[in-house]
Structure 1
Amino acid sequence: MKIQIIGTEKLIFLKDKACIEGCLNKYQNYSSNDWLEDICDGSPFVDTKFQNINDFTLDMSADISKAFETEFENVKRVYSKLKFLTDSMASDERLWAGLCLGHFFEYVRYRWDVSSVSGVLQHFYFDGPKRRALTRNAISRLWWIGRLTYDENRANKWELTEFVCSYSDYIMHFIERNTSNNLHVMRPFLEAMIEARKGGYALNTDDAGKLAKYLNLLGGMYVLDFMPEEWIKEKIRNKITMMIKQSVTEIKDEEVNQIVEEGKIVTRNSKIVIENLKTRQKILIMAKKNKLITKPVNLSGLVMGDKIYIGKESFIIKDIR
């Protein structure tokens, strides 16, 4: 496989909205990119010095409605094969437009909605602010996720990458912000979130957005590149703890029904008082939606006195409301 870019003049021509509108059907429905030579009066591709890259394909095995499920695998493939690129090279629109219109034309159509001018601009080319453009272009996005999360020093070098790829909104919240420029900052931030998940705290995408904004705020107050990673992680841990406390209601002993009611079981709409068997702290949780990852996940059918687990902590059901 050889890497080709799109020449500057051809790139300007192809990105023109009138040109895209006239070719929209081709972007959307043609499985081949042969038509590019016709509209460009010749090939728009220009050879680079990278002529002998090990050939690779991208995963398109998931149903098109679930194409995001291939993201993690494709990040690994793109970043592993193109790790030699410098940040400067990887910020060049001509490179990514060349890969999107060339080797990975079919993948772009599989992964993204390119039925509109804006869809074509975002996913085949660069559109909007540079930082955002890098994560919206179909192939650039995969490389930059790898660049900002791959950690050579971890036992599982792709652990942070897999976590970021677990939700599409995570990529928007974490990778598109200026604070994500450095693994020194991203690593402790993501590690704190991974620890929280392992500890039984379900941080949804809204929570992730709040944490990313908080990291941005810290970045405005401190030069994070010079702060110890443990300091950054502790800041995020404390923020997560505060968010969890705000979402969980602590219950006093006198508020708990001391009489076990026979036959009372948890339903989808139940409110449940659970007690930590170690600390004796009692909290109120919702059966159908809460920020705690319980085992079992589905609490329906449980009764007072049953035991559940949150992370490594054991709890007993004290009251069902």
Structure 2
Amino acid sequence: MERIKVFTTTFLDQLGQRLQSKEIINGYVEGRAPNYSNSDTKDTLIEIDVFPKLAADKEEFENAQILYESMRDIDRTMASDQRLWAWLAHVPFMEYMAKRWPVADQHEEKRAAYIVNHWFVKTQTSSSYMRHGIAMLWWGAYMTYNSESDYPFELTKELFSMQDYTRTIFGMLGRSNNFVRALLEYVIENPHLFESHKEARIRFLMRRLNYEGGYKIIPSLSVSEIKKLINKYKNITEEITD
């Protein structure tokens, strides 16, 4: 069994300050995590058999499924701990991160910001979690996994089929399970509506629902209620081409 850990807040603060160092940045370029000691980490109460093997050449959906199946015991509170995702990105999944998010491909002046975006969760905003290389996979699967379905990861596959989903769904209406499931189910249930101009139509619906959010507390609605709300815009959506 392997214990899941977190970095200490003190270590993360110090590491954040050191990210302006060319030596530290070059470590990320070469796929090496910054040095740390045992005192820089804390144990959580969660153990897993073995950390899964993620592969940069696999689809995001595949890695999300693999990760979530291995780390399903993480609860929502723990998954909101910024220290957890920093440790996971730098320790068990550093090799994957270095290949999936290669720092060497970035211009030198942008490398520090790139590292911050993908190796760290800097704020408690949904978009910050969805930029993080590992948190994005776990949260995406967590929000869409359906244990009552014959294919529990059907919505997960749809979520990772288009980058606009992870940018707009979580950016606008936060981490609301019902909202995410309602939108993805609606897309799957209406294939003809989204067989063309899919990205533009999703963006349109997101704007309309964000507007509706000023009048209704959308996350408090049921999945069926949210789908009815989406369906109100079906005719207009059919006319969207860009």
TM-score by length of 1: 0.66
Secondary structure at the aligned position of 2:73 is classed as coil
| 2:225 alignment partner in structure 1 | 231
Sort the Cα spacing of 1:20 and 1:166 in 2 relative to 1 into closer, same or farther, 3 A. farther
| 1:83 alignment partner in structure 2 | 72
CA contact (8 A) 2:56 2:100 kept: no
Name the stretch that deviates more: 118-127 or 212-221. Answer: 212-221
Which of 53, 57, 67 is 1:58 aligned to?
Answer: 53
- Quote the sequence identity (%): 23
Secondary structure at the aligned position of 1:191 is classed as helix
Higher helix share: 2
Secondary structure at the aligned position of 1:188 is classed as helix
Shift of 1:186: 2.0
| 1:192 alignment partner in structure 2 | 186
Instruction: Return the structure number with greater relative CO, CA threshold 8 A, min gap 6.
Output: 2
CA contact (8 A) 1:2 1:52 kept: yes
Structure 1 outlier segments of 4+, above 4 Å: 17-20
Sort the Cα spacing of 1:61 and 1:87 in 2 relative to 1 into closer, same or farther, 3 A. closer
1:133-282 matches, cutoff 5 A: 133-177=128-172, 179-197=173-191, 201-245=195-239, 247=241
| Letter matched to residue 109 of structure 1 | A
CA contact (8 A) 1:97 1:125 kept: yes
| 1:105 alignment partner in structure 2 | 94
Gaps of 5+ in 1: 63-68, 248-290, 292-321
Sort the Cα spacing of 1:243 and 1:151 in 2 relative to 1 into closer, same or farther, 3 A. same
Structural RMSD (CA): 2.4
CA distance in 1, matches of 2:163, 2:39: 32
Higher strand share: 1
CA contact (8 A) 1:4 1:45 kept: no
CA contact (8 A) 2:4 2:46 kept: yes
| 2:8 alignment partner in structure 1 | 7
User: Whose radius of gyration is greater, 1 or 2?
Assistant: 1
Sort the Cα spacing of 1:191 and 1:18 in 2 relative to 1 into closer, same or farther, 3 A. closer
